[in-house]
Amino acid sequence: MDVISVIRTKRDRGELSPEQIDWVIDAYTRGVVADEQMSALAMAILLNGMNRTEIARWTAAMIASGERMNFDALSRPTADKHSTGGVGDKITLPLAPLVAACGAAVPQLSGRGLGHTGGTLDKLESIPGWRALLSNEEMMHVLDTTGAVICAAGDGLAPADKKLYALRDVTGTVEAIPLIASSIMSKKIAEGTGSLVLDVKVGTGAFMKNIEDARELARTMVGLGTDSGVKTVALLTDMSTPLGLTAGNALEVRESVEVLAGGGPADVVELTIALAKEMLDAAGIKDADPAKALADGSAMDHWRRMIAAQGGDPDAALPVAREQHVVTAPESGVLTRLDAYGVGVGAWRLGAGRARKEDPVQAGAGIELHAKPGDTVTAGQPLMTLHTDTPEKFEYALGALEGTYDIAPAGTAFSATPIVLDRIA
C-alpha cells in the first residue's frame, strides 16, 4: 500500500477501499504518512466527499488506533451528549448532574475552546481546585460515586483523531462533513457510552451555518452511532443568538449554577431539559422528570458532589475580571437581532478563548448580556458588559461587536426562532 495511490483514488472521485482506509489511518498515526500527504487526502475528501461505507470504515479505523472504554460494571445505564459548539453554550454544566439525578450515568468527555466557541473544560477550570485530567480509574470512581463526570479524553482514546484534527485546523479542511462526523463519533464510540444525544448547532455562531448542512452532519453521525450499536439521536438547535446571558468561562459557570438552583435564563433551561429528556429516553429511563430534579435541588446536589470529587470547591468564589466596559443602547426600541458570532469573537478577544490550543485563557473574561432579541430597550441603557483583566483589549473586542445587533422602532413585531429546530433519529 502507498499513500500516493490513496490520494489519487479520492482525488479522482473514487471510493476508498477498507484496506486503503485502514492502512492510511494507521500509517499516519505512526508517522509513515507525512502531514503534507494527509493534507492532500483531507482536501480531496473535502472536495469529493465520502459515502456512508467509507465514513464508517474511516471512523472504525480511528477508533482502532487507540483504546476503548467500557462501563458495563456500572449499576446504571450510560448516556452522553455532544455539542458541535456555540456561543454561551454552557449546557453540559447543568445537564450532566441533572441527568445523573434522574438515574443515568453521564461519562462526559469534553474539550477546550478554540476561536469564538467556548470550551467546557475551560469553564470548569475557573472553579478553584477543579481538575480536568483524570486517569481512567479516577474517571470510573467519580462516575460510580456521583453519577456524572466531566473530564478531558485520555491520550489513548482515538489518537489518530487528535493528530488529524490538528492538521485539519491549519489546512482549511475543517468543514469536510465526513471528517467532522468521524472525528466526533470516533471519540464517542471509543468512550463506550450506551447512548448518545447530539446537539448540532445551526446559525451564525455555529460551525454549520445553514440547516441543510446541519441535517447532513446529524444524519451522518446518527448513522455512525447506530451502526456501532450506540443508540444515537440528534437535535438541531439554534445558534444565531448566544445561549443565555453570558459568554465566558467563570461567567458561564455562575449562570449554570443559577440554572441548577432553579433559576437562570429561560433558553438555557429549555434546552437543558430538552436534551435531558432525550438522554434519559435513550438510556431507557422513562419515568424521570428533569424539571422536577432542577426544582427540588437534587440536580444541584449531584453538581456539588461531582465538582468536589474532581478536586473543586463548589462554595469557592469564582474569578472576576479586574476591568469592565459597558456598551449602551444607541437608541430606544426593540432589540431584534444579536449575532452570536460577533459576541463570541468579542469574548474571545477579551481573553475568554484562545487562538491556539496551548494559549492560556482568562477565567473572568467574557461578555455579560443585559438584553436579548425581543426585549424593549431605552437609549443609554446597558446592552452588554465586557469583562477582562487586560483593558487594552476593549477596543479590539468592540471592533468585533460593531454591527452585531439591530434595534427597531418601538412596537415592531418580533418572532423568536425556536431553540430546537429539528430532530434526527
DSSP assignments along 73-89, one per residue = TSSS-B-EEEE---SS-
What CATH number does the domain containing 122 carry?
Answer: 3.40.1030.10
250 alpha carbon, distance to own chain's centre = 17
Residues 21, 134 share a domain: no
Tally of domains within the chain: 3
**Among residues 112, 64, 115, which one has the least CA distance to residue 92?**
112
Residues with catalytic function = 82, 161, 168, 183, 187
pLDDT recorded at residue 124: 98
Residues 35, 142 share a domain: no
Residues 289, 262 share a domain: yes
Residues 392, 341 share a domain: yes
pLDDT recorded at residue 111: 84
Identify whether 336 is part of a domain: yes
d(CA 179, CA 221): 11
d(CA 282, CA 284): 5
Please give the average pLDDT of every successive group of 10 residues along the chain, which has 425 residues. 96 98 97 96 97 95 94 93 95 98 96 83 97 94 96 89 86 89 94 96 94 95 94 98 98 98 97 98 95 97 98 98 98 98 96 81 97 98 98 97 97 95 97
Identify whether 209 is part of a domain: yes
For residue 42, what are the domain limits? 3-49
Residues 290, 204 share a domain: yes
Residues 149, 108 share a domain: yes
Residues 277, 222 share a domain: yes
Within 8 A by CB and 6+ apart from 421, the residues are 202, 211, 236, 237, 238
Identify whether 56 is part of a domain: no
pLDDT recorded at residue 357: 66
Residues 300, 331 share a domain: no
